[in-house]
Amino acid sequence: MPVIRPCIGITAHRHHAAGDMCIHPGYTESVLRADGIPLVIPMVSDPDFYPDMLSLCDGFLLTGSEADVFPELYGKTPPASNVSDHWRDTQDFVILEHAETWGKPVFGICRGCQVMNVFRGGTLALHFRDLKTTEINHDGEDASGPPLHQATLLAEANLSCLVDNAQWNVNSLHRQVCERLGNTLRVAAFSADGFIEAIEDSQTPERFFAVQWHPERSPHGPDALSVALFQQLVQQARLWRGKNQQVTP
């Protein structure tokens, strides 16, 4: 019997200027390179759609977006400049609840990292400069451009086991950052100026992990860390599929 590659559900986002749903090809290509099947999950108005759609997936990739995680979800007042997408917030929470219930792996990128923290009860800084003054520009104009700063993997983090080096040059395109971490989460990487750059679950770090930068968009092709992150997601999804093929919800 041929081995069926694991299916990775990937969140789409809305381009607010046009209202179109879209996805950067780097996400789907990165999953393909890791030997997974990318399945884009659209945002829909009917929540009854999600159980059937999510049951097709063995793991999930929560992507970045122009929209911030809605501040009221973590107890803060939205500023006048806030751009949120309630459909996207709802979709991400439904996916995370499904993944937690069934033990499926989740990898978050940029906004995905932030919403994973909020889902677990953590908080965000509305803008990284609200926490401290820094000369490092975390809010770049294009995540596909050259790296903006370094991220250092912590020795005790599972992510540090994926690669040989601790320090990596990363791109950056965000305003919000993780502030107080949610339940059972721990820091996996810091930037040179002390912001949280990666998080993971302290009990199942290989199944619940996220980074603030964009490993799907490297101007010179994926580096070893970027490749390893997607490989971990797909490998964990493959393990889940092998153990649960007969009990898919």
Q: Is 84 helix (H, G, I), strand (E, B) or coil?
A: strand
pLDDT at 22: 84
b/e map 214-223, b = 16+ CB within 10 Å:
bbbbbeeebb
- DSSP per position, 172-193: -B-S-EE-S--TTEEEEEEETT
User: What does the pLDDT read at residue 131?
Assistant: 60
The reply to whether the predicted model has a pTM over 0.85 is: yes
Please report the sign of the dihedral spanned by the C-alpha atoms of residue 160, residue 157, residue 63, residue 102.
positive
Q: CATH says 7-244 is which class?
A: alpha beta
Nearest to 63 by CA among 91, 100, 103: 91
pLDDT at site 237: 98
The predicted-structure confidence for 95-116, as pLDDT tens digits, reads as follows: 999 999 999 999 999 999 999 9
pLDDT tens string 208-232: 999 999 999 875 667 899 999 999 9
**Phi/psi-derived region of residue 103, left when phi > 0, alpha when psi is between -120 and 50, beta in every other case:** left
DSSP string, 195-226: -EEEEEESSSTTTEEEESS-TT--TT---HHH
* 48-52: long-range contacts, CB 8 A cutoff, minimum separation 24: 50/91, 50/94, 50/95, 50/98, 51/98, 51/249
Which segments of the chain have a pLDDT < 70?
1-3, 16-19, 128-148, 174, 219-221, 246-249
CB atoms within 10 A of CB 48: 7
Residue type, 174: H
